[in-house]
Amino acid sequence: MKKRLRKKKHLSEFTEWGRQLVIIRNLKNGFYEFLDAFIEEAIELNGCYCGGGGKENKLDVVVELGRRSDDPDARLKRITAWLDARSDVESWKVGEEFDLWHGDFQDIDDEIEQ
């Protein structure tokens, strides 16, 4: 397959990798302030994107970590380090890495007890 088509179809070296991230907070108030800080300081500063949602004390997102050449593992470590530094984060769990365009998503939310 030609490079142009691999890029268009997000295949081979153009595969975009992501992981599910579930965050449990120890506070029920201030969710939107936490969400804003998470997106600005942990996601956008690392050149990532995320989608998902939550409320009160729980946030469930899928984080787009980029291509292999973008070093997705290092990006994830910086995001989780940000979570570890927060006093309002009780726990967090990261799912298995998967291809965002063609991979199988396995929800880890069922494994986490409230």
Q: Tell me whether residue 92 is in a domain.
A: yes
* Closest by Cα among 89, 34, 42 to 63: 42
Q: Is residue 57 part of a domain?
A: yes
Is 2 within a domain? no
pLDDT at 80: 96
Domain count, the chain: 1
Residue 109 included in any domain: no
Domain membership flag for residue 1 = no
Domain membership of residue 113 (yes or no) is: no
Whole-angstrom CA distances from 10 to 6, 14, 28, 67, 90 are 6, 5, 39, 10, 36
The answer to whether residue 53 is domain-embedded is yes
For 62-81, write each residue's pLDDT tens digit: 999 999 999 999 999 999 99
Identify the domain containing residue 27 by its residue range: 17-97
Task: Return the pLDDT at 114.
Answer: 44
Q: Could you give the CA distance from residue 76 to residue 82 in angstroms, rounded to a whole number? A: 10
What's this model's pTM, rounded to 2 decimal places? 0.86
- Assess if residue 4 is contained within a domain: no
Interatomic CA distance for residues 66 and 79, integer angstroms = 14
- The CATH number covering residue 29 comes to 3.30.70.60
Query: Is residue 44 scored above 90 in pLDDT?
Result: yes
Task: Go through the chain and tell me how many residues it has.
Answer: 114
